[in-house]
Amino acid sequence: MKILTQTDDFAVYHFPHDNSRHHIVAFSNAFGGATRQEITAKGFLEKLGVGFSVVEHGDKDHWWTVACIDEAISNLKENLVGREIVTYGFSMGGYGALRFAARLEAKRAVAFAPQDTITPSEAPFETRWAWQAQEIGAVVPPARNFFSRDTEYYVTFDPSDIDLFHIRRMLEFRDRCKTFNVLPFWFAGHAVAASLKGAGVLSYLAKGLLTFDDSSVRLAQDLYRQYRRSSPSAAMIAQAARSLGRKHKQRSLFRIVRSNMDKLKREASAEDLIAVYFALRDNEGMEDALPFVLQVASYEPDNSRFACHAADALLYFGRREEARSALERFVGTSADDGWFKTLWARVSGP
């Protein structure tokens, strides 16, 4: 292993393989940063038996806007002369895989749930990383602006997620690509890679896309469809509920939540449970929604926002003392502002 570039913002790790004409360049995703215990995807990429490099970001999710990144990519390219390059990444890493494919003269770019950009003026629908966009303080260049007619693009995403809007932006520029291929995996959520791993199909899909094995890609698609129909995870059920809620398909929403109530309560994460709560709340389903928000508040008792949601739901049913109990531990803390003050006034007044 060689370190081709190392700065405070990112590093480029290089794992050459003399007997492989393929070389994979992976970009790290925004979760983990400097706390990540291992180089992104290193274990998986080693199993493929090909050379690979990893562009690993530091402790700031900068969406590859930092100084020297273009120079580092050019330096990496000089070390890959004669290789058939595939770029690879998830989320912010997927953005990097799309953005730098042309610079590396990659034959293929493989991106899981990528963004086209997170800059609000460019993509106003994208609010998940608004604070990071503000922190970056510069335009995150749209990935689609860097598409190349010499590269095949493969994008894996969940059409029920906000990521769909990024894919639509990219499709507007597909004539700039050799090919632009979309691989939809319904209800996998933004964490599509984790959902596919939970379904036991990620290794087939990633291996197929990265090593040009179309049969493995088709197998992954078939296995996922079977999994989604026969034994969907709690996260997938929550994503389906979120999608149905946005479309105000109340009957289907209530049916899927009620028929999977026990599984959701037993297996869903706090993030998934609050998503189900919002979907029900916004579709006149407060009676069904209440147990979910109370469970979320019990999962993360130090989260003032969850406590506010729980109190708000309890007040809807006139359960004032319970709402007061949910809020009182946050009085006088940094949470004691805005919405919290309004709720506290309702539970502590005459």
pLDDT in tens, 311-331: 999 999 999 999 999 999 898
The stretches of the chain forming alpha helices (DSSP H) are 42-47, 69-78, 92-99, 130-136, 163-171, 192-198, 202-210, 214-230, 234-246, 250-259, 261-267, 270-281, 286-299, 304-316, 320-327, 339-348
What average pLDDT does this structure show over 16-43?
82
pLDDT band, very low/low/confident/very high, at 76 (cuts 50, 70, 90): very high
State pLDDT tens for residues 187-199. 999 999 999 999 9
Residue 205 has pLDDT above 60, yes or no: yes
Residue 337 has pLDDT above 80, yes or no: no
Residue 33 has pLDDT above 90, yes or no: no
State pLDDT tens for residues 135-157. 888 899 999 999 999 999 999 99
Cross-strand partners of 347:
none
Residue 276 contacts residue 264 (beta carbons within 8 Å): yes
Closest of 110, 106, 111, 128 to residue 119, by C-alpha? 128
Provide the token pair at 205.
């899909």
pLDDT at position 95: 98
Residues in the chain: 350
Helices 270-281 and 304-316: angle between axes, nearest 10 degrees:
30
pLDDT at position 31: 65
Provide the token pair at 60.
């700031």
Q: Which residue has the higher pLDDT, 67 or 178?
A: 178
Closest of 53, 105, 99, 100 to residue 82, by C-alpha? 105
> Cα 58 from chain centroid?
18
pLDDT band, very low/low/confident/very high, at 37 (cuts 50, 70, 90): low
pLDDT at position 38: 82
How far is residue 64's CA from residue 71's CA, in Å, rounded to a whole number? 12
DSSP string, 178-191: SEEEEEE-TT--S-
What average pLDDT does this structure show over 52-76?
93
pLDDT at position 109: 98
Cross-strand partners of 51:
23
Residue 34 has pLDDT above 60, yes or no: no
Q: Name, in order, each residue with C-beta under 8 angstroms of 230's C-beta and a sequence gap of 6 or more.
A: none
- How many beta carbons lie within 10 A of that of residue 213, not counting itself? 13
Instruction: Map residue 11 onto helix, strand or coil.
Output: strand
- How many beta carbons lie within 10 A of that of residue 191, not counting itself? 21
Please give the mean pLDDT across all residues of the chain: 93
Q: Which helix (H) or strand (E) holds 85?
A: strand 84-90
pLDDT at position 20: 85
What average pLDDT does this structure show over 97-117?
98
Q: Which residue has the higher pLDDT, 249 or 36?
A: 249
pLDDT at position 349: 74
